[in-house]
């Protein structure tokens, strides 16, 4: 009888271990926590807010909350995989190093999937396809520009470490490129205050900007003669993970596999609707 009881207990213990390990946290029953880095200052991709409204997520080590398109996508990935989500706020230049050193699991921060970045990290996605545009003052001297050649003689800038600044602005013959800005809000403020005549950015950032700054105007030259020359890596927005982390890469890609451009654009539109005007 004792032998039969011991066998039954052993079987029960083994069953419990199997159930616990299937929760995504190994054998201790804990759910996997996906640590995601972003700036939390790059609306509509991501921003910080003081309350937990509209499904925002607490920012690790801070009293405020993160929301935006990147947070919405991160939540969907975690829901599909049964993971908990933890948001880390880092400066733009610190995002890739954080993935490389294992400080975070991935970066979801509106990063273009450029060849340079692919040398440093692996990319899941794309999770958005972004058009490159210019922002000007609606009543400014360049409000009616019809191609980038019309910006000859203009002053411009963009955010440091982006394809907007490194790849697109140098294509504008005759423009004066001022020092890059540390963040998207600083880039927009340079235009708003008249420091520059135009800035280069992507469509979602521009769409959010004209809500915060109604005196700005979007100029879209994509697909037209006289527009910016970009490749897929410049307009495909991806999720960076540590080189060689194929398990995480595959899990993220599987979660994204059921969504396409139409789905991404709808989620982005939802993010733009709820963004704080100050962002």
Q: What is the pLDDT of residue 278?
A: 57
Tell me what the mean pLDDT of segment 218-229 comes to: 93
pLDDT at 2 over 70: no
Q: What is the pLDDT of residue 5?
A: 40
Contact by Cβ (8 Å): 234, 114: yes
Instruction: Please compute Rg for the chain using Cα positions.
Output: 22
Do 31-126+242-274 and 132-221 share a fold? yes
What spatial distance separates the first Cα and last Cα of the chain, rounded to whole Å? 70
Rounded to an integer, what distance in angstroms lies between the CA atom of residue 113 and that of residue 103?
Answer: 21
Residue in this structure with the two tokens 């999937």, named with its chain if needed? 113
> What confidence tens digit (pLDDT) does each residue in 90-122 have?
999 999 999 999 999 999 999 999 999 999 999
Contact by Cβ (8 Å): 50, 44: no
Kind of pairing, strands 155-157 and 57-58?
unpaired
Rounded to an integer, what distance in angstroms lies between the CA atom of residue 204 and that of residue 132?
Answer: 9
pLDDT at 154 over 90: yes
What does the domain layout of the chain look like in residue ranges? 1-28, 31-126+242-274, 132-221
Residue in this structure with the two tokens 């019309």, named with its chain if needed? 150
* Lowest model confidence (mean pLDDT) among 63-77, 151-165, 219-233: 219-233
Q: Which fold has domain 31-126+242-274?
A: D-Maltodextrin-Binding Protein; domain 2 (3.40.190)
Residue in this structure with the two tokens 């899990």, named with its chain if needed? 251
Q: Which CATH superfamily is domain 132-221 in?
A: Periplasmic binding protein-like II (3.40.190.10)
> Cα dist. 172→87, 135, 178, 198, 269 in Å?
37, 14, 13, 11, 30
pLDDT at 169 over 50: yes
């Amino acid at each position: 009888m004792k032998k039969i009881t011991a066998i039954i207990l052993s079987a029960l213990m083994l069953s419990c271990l199997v159930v616990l390990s299937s929760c995504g946290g190994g054998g201790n029953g804990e759910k996997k926590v996906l640590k995601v880095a972003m700036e939390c200052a790059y609306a509509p991709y991501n921003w910080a807010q003081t309350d937990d409204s509209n499904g925002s997520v607490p920012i690790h080590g801070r009293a405020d909350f993160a929301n935006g398109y990147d947070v919405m996508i991160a939540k969907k990935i975690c829901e599909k995989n049964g993971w908990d989500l933890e948001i880390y706020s880092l400066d733009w230049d610190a995002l890739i190093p954080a993935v490389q050193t294992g400080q975070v699991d991935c970066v979801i921060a509106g990063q273009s999937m450029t060849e340079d970045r692919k040398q440093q990290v692996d990319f899941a996605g794309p999770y958005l396809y972004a058009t490159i545009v210019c922002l000007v003052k609606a009543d400014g001297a360049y409000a009616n520009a019809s191609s980038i050649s019309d910006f000859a003689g203009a002053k411009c800038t963009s955010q440091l470490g982006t394809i907007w600044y490194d790849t697109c602005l140098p294509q504008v013959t005759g423009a004066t490129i001022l020092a890059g800005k540390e963040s998207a809000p600083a880039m927009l403020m340079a235009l708003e205050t008249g420091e520059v005549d135009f800035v280069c950015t992507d469509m979602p950032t521009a769409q959010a900007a004209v809500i915060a700054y109604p005196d700005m105007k979007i100029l879209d030259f994509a697909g037209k003669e006289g527009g910016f020359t970009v490749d897929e890596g410049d307009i495909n927005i991806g999720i960076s993970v540590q080189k060689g982390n194929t398990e995480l890469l595959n899990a993220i890609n599987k979660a994204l596999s059921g969504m396409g451009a139409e789905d991404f654009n709808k989620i982005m539109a939802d993010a733009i609707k709820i963004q704080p005007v100050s962002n």
